[in-house]
């Protein structure tokens, strides 16, 4: 069941997302975290809440969705660096509890299997998601099987273009592959919170909510999940009935 919350703009979306997330910022909880521009407002609110209200992450664990293949973790656009810069370094989560899949190593598929095994041992209480303009969730591009586990994937041409802005607008600098939690992995989360803002997400939002459940729109699988909240701003909701 998809519960849709409509808000005015990005700031309101971030406020609402924090309200939902707040219930899960408790000892023992497992958070599923995401990268991209979308969660930045939420992360800023989590940091502020940690500073002002002393909300502690000392007994919270997290699993990130994805990572580029081949970028060293010291690269500012690696998702490892992104998470540390925007969240982990500003709260008291323990380094060993904040998991980001690795895009480096000799056997990425074996590492991916281990990542899924770790998640199976610590099921995710709430998975935060953004959505790609092509309907992808994490880096599960159109056509990815709904039962997929964590795996290595090629990025769609449109995703490479979308993410170019993080790499000096130089398409040749954007990695072409990523390690990503699979759609099956994401669907195991007990709750899912997806945020979509801006006009370039409007078609993907419509396909996710009103379209057929079809691998052509990876996010449409969420219609099958029992507990999904989608926060959409006016621009992203523009094509909804
Ligand atoms: C990225 C990430 C996704 C993210 C999406 C949208 O490539 N792999 O997890 O949700 O694309 O990004 P943004 O939030 O910057 O629009």
Domain contains 240: no
**Cβ within 8 Å of residue 188, ≥6 positions away:** 119, 120, 123, 124
Domain contains 13: yes
Ligand 1 center–CA 66 separation, angstroms:
10
Domain contains 59: yes
Average pLDDT over residues 203-212: 98
Tallying the residues shown for the chain, one arrives at 241
Show which residues are catalytic.
Answer: 66, 134, 136, 141
Per the DSSP assignment, residues forming a β-bridge with 231 are 5, 195
pLDDT above 90 (res 108): yes
Would you say the CB of residue 34 lies under 6 angstroms from ligand 1? yes
Q: Where are the beta strands (DSSP E) in 2-76?
A: 2-6, 30-33, 61-64, 66-68
C-alpha distance from residue 78 to each of 25, 102, 155, 179 (Å): 25, 10, 15, 12
The pLDDT value given to residue 1: 85
Q: DSSP state, 231?
A: E
Number of folded domains in the chain?
1
Q: DSSP state, 198?
A: S
Would you say the CB of residue 65 lies under 6 angstroms from ligand 1? yes
Domain contains 202: yes
Domain contains 241: no
The number of angstroms, rounded, from the C-alpha of 156 to the middle of its chain's C-alpha atoms is 17
Domain contains 74: yes
Please choose from 13, 14, 38 the residue to mutate so as to test ligand 1's pocket, defined by most ligand atoms within 8 A of CB: 38
Q: How confident is the model at residue 227 (pLDDT cuts 50, 70, 90)?
A: very high
Strands 66-68 and 151-154: unpaired
CA separation for the pair 158, 141 (Å, rounded): 10
The pLDDT value given to residue 5: 98
Q: Which residue has the tokens 């998640």?
A: 119
Interior/surface letters 57-91, b for 16+ CB within 10 angstroms, e for the rest: beebbbbbbbbbbebeeeeebbbbbbbbebbbebb
Q: How confident is the model over 2-27, as pLDDT tens digits?
A: 999 999 999 999 999 999 999 999 99
The residue range of the domain holding 194 is: 2-233
**Ligand 1 atom 9 nearest Cα:** 138
Domain contains 117: yes
CA separation for the pair 84, 76 (Å, rounded): 10
Domain contains 239: no
Q: How confident is the model at residue 31 (pLDDT cuts 50, 70, 90)?
A: very high
**Ligand 1 atom 1 nearest Cα:** 36
CA separation for the pair 137, 129 (Å, rounded): 7
pLDDT above 90 (res 189): yes
Residue 216: give its domain's CATH number. 3.40.50.1360
Strands 61-64 and 98-99: parallel
Q: What is the SS3 assignment for 196?
A: strand
Q: How confident is the model over 34-63, as pLDDT tens digits?
A: 999 999 999 999 999 999 999 999 999 999
Q: What angle do CA 139, 143, 146 make, to 5 degrees?
A: 80
Q: DSSP state, 151?
A: E
Average pLDDT over residues 116-137: 97
């Amino acid at each position: 069941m998809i519960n849709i919350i409509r808000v005015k703009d990005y700031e309101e979306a971030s406020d609402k997302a924090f309200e939902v997330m707040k219930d899960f910022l408790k000892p023992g909880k497992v958070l599923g975290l995401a990268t991209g521009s979308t969660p930045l407002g939420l992360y800023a609110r989590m940091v502020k809440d940690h500073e002002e209200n002393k909300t502690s992450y000392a007994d919270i664990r997290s699993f990130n969705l994805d990572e580029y293949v081949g970028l060293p973790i010291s690269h500012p656009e690696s998702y490892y660096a992104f998470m540390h810069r925007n969240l982990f370094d500003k709260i008291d989560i323990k380094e060993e509890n904040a998991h980001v899949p690795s895009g480096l190593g000799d056997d990425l598929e074996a590492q991916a299997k281990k990542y899924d095994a770790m998640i199976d041992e610590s099921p995710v209480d709430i998975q935060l998601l953004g959505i790609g303009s092509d309907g992808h969730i994490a880096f599960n591009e159109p056509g990815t099987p709904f039962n997929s586990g964590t795996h290595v994937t090629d990025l769609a041409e449109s995703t490479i273009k979308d993410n170019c802005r993080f790499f000096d607008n130089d398409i040749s600098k954007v990695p072409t592959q990523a390690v990503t939690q699979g759609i099956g992995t994401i669907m195991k989360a007990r709750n899912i919170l997806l945020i979509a803002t801006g006009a370039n997400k409007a078609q993907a939002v419509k396909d996710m909510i009103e379209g057929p459940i079809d691998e052509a729109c990876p996010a449409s699988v969420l219609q099958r999940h029992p507990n999904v909240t989608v926060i959409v701003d006016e621009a992203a909701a523009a094509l909804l009935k």
